[in-house]
A and B are shown apart, each in its own frame.
Chain A
Amino acid sequence: MNRYAVAAIYKFEMARTKRTIFQSIISPVISTSLYFVVFGSAIGSRITEIGGVSYGAFIVPGLIMLSLLTQSISNASFGIYFPKFTGTIYELLSAPVSSFEVLLGYVGAAATKSTLLALIILATAHFFVPLEIAHPFWMLFFLVMTAITFSLFGFIIGIWADNFEKLQVIPLIIITPLVFLGGTFYSVSMLPPFWQTVTQFNPVFYLISGFRWSFYEVAEVSLMTSLGVMGGFLALCLLAVTWIFKSGYQIRQ
């Protein structure tokens, strides 16, 4: 194991967060807080409780997931895309590092950053809504595993992208709508039967359900189903990354 290389990549990526703290931390915390205020006040005055949980508290896990997913993807995709864009990837390709070590550095840093951000948002939420965490271990488990899985997904996007627009397409066009339609602001049981069926095909719905369960023991599907979907997506991402490194797709000629 080239631990110095892993540490170098990890530190390099973490240093970028420090340099761009407004964009990386402050901006997502402010925008998520606005969601707490606007949605919590506007809709919360009409829907007081869902499943015995106050509306303001109900939306917190989903909004944390929204930031966690988008930031994990954004951090990891930018981390690997930028060296491709500037040409500095030559150094990574000529260094004595294995694919696993490269992943460990980039995905590890991206997951660390988004997990820290999610914890800051969680702490901020305390100022707006009364929160309780019924299962802290499971809450952290969901947080960390989701961050790793979607950082891997972001890494794949960063490899695939050959321009800055492509970097933004999947988080904006796919992930954000999936989070909004995955039960962040409502219980799926409130939807008409047809849309309830459609929601079953949204993988983010299972993540939000499992994450929310760790807070309030209120879930739309069983914990095992949520874990299974998350594990399945993680396995898919790992398979894709393995193929990318073996084939050299978009990296090595």
Chain B
Amino acid sequence: MIQITDVNKVYASGFQALNNINLSIKPAEIFALLGPNGAGKTTLISAICGIVDATSGQITVDGKDIVTDYRHTRKLIGLVPQELTTDAFETVWTTVSFSRGLFGKKPNPAFIEKTLKSLSLWDKKDNRLMELSGGMKRRVMIAKALSHEPEVLFLDEPTAGVDVELRKDMWQLVRQLRDNGVTIILTTHYIEEAEEIADRIGVIKNGQLILVEDKIALMNQLGTKQLILDLKEPLTEIPANIADFNLQLKNNGLQLIYSYDATEEHTGISVLLQHLSVAGIAFKDIKTDQSSLEDIFVSLVKETT
């Protein structure tokens, strides 16, 4: 759906915001772009949407160049920016209708009504934007982006500053849109958001795309698992017969943690348990834990520093 080839962006100040970006976004997928502040997430989105001109490289949407065929490509794209930028004095209805017209669609009050209802904004349609809460304004931004029935939706930090309930509503909406064939690219600071809804994940840092991977594969590849044993008696040190295992003692010697690679055929768990039995170490509980996407993200960003 979107093809980004060798894209660079150097601002007038000399700051290189994007460094040789190559990325392909598939139709009807949810792609989460993660990265620390100033990594280049918003610049990349802005370049695809036409707000920022790329210094070099090419971007195509639906096979068409975003510069030479901007009328075609921009009609396909809806954008929800990071900032809550709204016309304070306009009503919800007029601002959403304005967006539809701006993107070249003829007026369709029934569609606007449906969009507002799906975002729980219908009863606010005659309210001026200045009268709405932050969460409601965020919904209006989404309604504006959806008003021209886009095939690609960019969500730049869509749930920043919204409450848990609204965040879950938005996740639900994003999934619905994806199921209806809309391609979704979102940037987020909330790793759990990417973990929850993304199909693929990209990590950007210092303007470079350092990783693009299927979410599940990424978590399988990079995620270490831990076996946590709650011991009956505390240990002062790790016994010699199990010293070769990747073990840690925690909680004043009452917790023995074994880190292992879940993708390996032999994880070593059964051997470890046998050794513990031989050494007479009893435990009262056993559980496993897997690295979260956040752990993976932090480790990736640290690695490239």
Contact = CB atoms under 8 A, between A and B. Distances in A.
Contacts of B12: 253
B89 A94 contact: no
A5 B101 contact: yes
B104 to A, nearest CB: 5
Nearest to B53: A252
Given A90-B51, A90-B79, A252-B51, A96 B103 contact: yes
Interface in B43-87: 46, 49-53, 70-75, 77, 79, 81, 83, 85-87
Contacts of A19: 89
B104 A4 contact: yes
Nearest to B145: A91
Contact of B53 (A4, A92, A94, A253): A253
A53 interface: no
B11 interface: yes
A248 B104 contact: no
Contacts of B89: 16, 19
Interface string A73-104: 00000000000001110111111110000000
Given A96-B70, A96-B75, A90 B85 contact: yes
Interface stretch (A6-14, A36-44, A145-153, A176-184): A6-14
B50 A94 contact: yes
Which one of B49, B50, B85, B102 has the highest number of Cβ atoms from chain A below 10 Å of its Cβ?
B102
Contacts of A253: 11-12, 46, 51-53
Nearest to A16: B89
B184 to A, nearest CB: 16
Q: What secondary structure prevails in chain A residues at the interface with B?
A: helix
Interface string A172-204: 000000000000000000000000000000000
A9 B52 contact: no
Contact of A96 (B51, B52, B74): B74
A159 B63 CA distance: 33
B269 interface: no
Nearest to B104: A2
Contact of B103 (A9, A88, A90, A95): A95
B86 A90 contact: no
A15 B87 CA distance: 13
B87 A8 contact: no
A7 B97 CA distance: 11
Interface of B: 11-12, 46, 49-53, 70-75, 77, 79, 81, 83, 85-89, 94, 97-107, 144
18 contacts: A4-B101, A4-B107, A7-B101, A8-B98, A8-B101, A12-B94, A86-B86, A86-B88, A91-B79, A94-B49, A95-B74, A95-B103, A96-B72, A96-B103, A97-B102, A252-B52, A253-B11, A253-B46
Given A4-B101, A5-B103, A11-B101, 5 more contacts: A8-B97, A86-B88, A88-B86, A94-B50, A96-B104
